Amino acid sequence: MKFAFSTLGVPGQPISEVVALATANGFQGVELRAHPEEPVHRGLGRRDRAAVVEEFKRADVEILGIAGYPRVASATVDEEQLRQEMDDLLSLARDLGAPYLRVFPGGGEQSAAEADATAARRLAAAAETAADSGVRILLETHDSHRTGADAARVVGLVGHQWVGALWDVMHTWLGGEDPVTTHSVLAPHLGYVQVKDIASAQDTTPLALGAGVLPLGKCLALLDEDSWVCWEYEKRWYPQAEELPGLLAAGRVHLEGLAGGHG
């Protein structure tokens, strides 16, 4: 397996420092959070994009994906604004050489059928642009579509190879879904897996990997040997959490141990 970490764990860090953390701690890739407060975002100019690519290339670290924030099932989002956001993020991912773009469902209080249909329609509309860009759109198991079964319903409706799923192990666990079930429904669509650890369903403050209750070993045991696993440490939302850089080396060792022969 190959291991990455998300810049959500080191909010606002310059790209040079992010790359240095990856190389110093044995991570082969990084997931870049695309937000205006981050160094990488939709408005990044062509020259700056090229500089980011060069920074990663020099260090032989891969950009695993772009973590975007479009909510494709939302009933309140402006359709034109969402389409533009998706186009911009696909262009950003293409220019950076990232194979994946993460999106959220965000179905809110709609019925499951309504949210599924809305998300599937919008993802299908973006699928050809994704194919032309060489970037696969991944719907994360999150919020209104917390389980693998939820995400698989939408991706199955789209029926396009350039639209898949991202398995966030915390959300499927919070949704009461067993890892074997999650993997069985997501395997045909799976891009990569986000791991993390927490103390309980009531306390989701990020912890060092292995210090919490999430079934990380069971999840990794189900993956193919060429799978990507990304540590999403949500420091941005929990400023009281321990700083990620000091945890990275031990976290990578822990993941390799869980991966066993696949490491």
Architecture of domain 2-67+75-101+169-262: Alpha-Beta Barrel (3.20)
Mean pLDDT of the chain: 97
**pLDDT value at position 260?**
83
**Residue 131's pLDDT band (boundaries 50, 70, 90)?**
very high
Give the residue-averaged pLDDT of 62-79: 97
Residue (of 133, 52, 62, 67) closest to 101 by Cα position: 67
**Residue 237's pLDDT band (boundaries 50, 70, 90)?**
very high
In angstroms, the CA 221 to CA 174 distance is 19
**Residue 218's pLDDT band (boundaries 50, 70, 90)?**
very high
Residue (of 89, 152, 168) closest to 120 by Cα position: 152
Span 77-111, pLDDT tens digits: 999 999 999 999 999 999 999 999 999 999 999 99
User: Cβ contacts of residue 8 below 8 Å, gap of 6+?
Assistant: 31, 33, 67, 232, 233, 234, 235, 236, 237
167, β-bridge pairs: 193
**pLDDT value at position 263?**
41
Give the residue-averaged pLDDT of 44-68: 98
Backbone angles phi, psi at 134, to 5 degrees: 70, 30
| The pLDDT of residue 145 is above 50 | yes
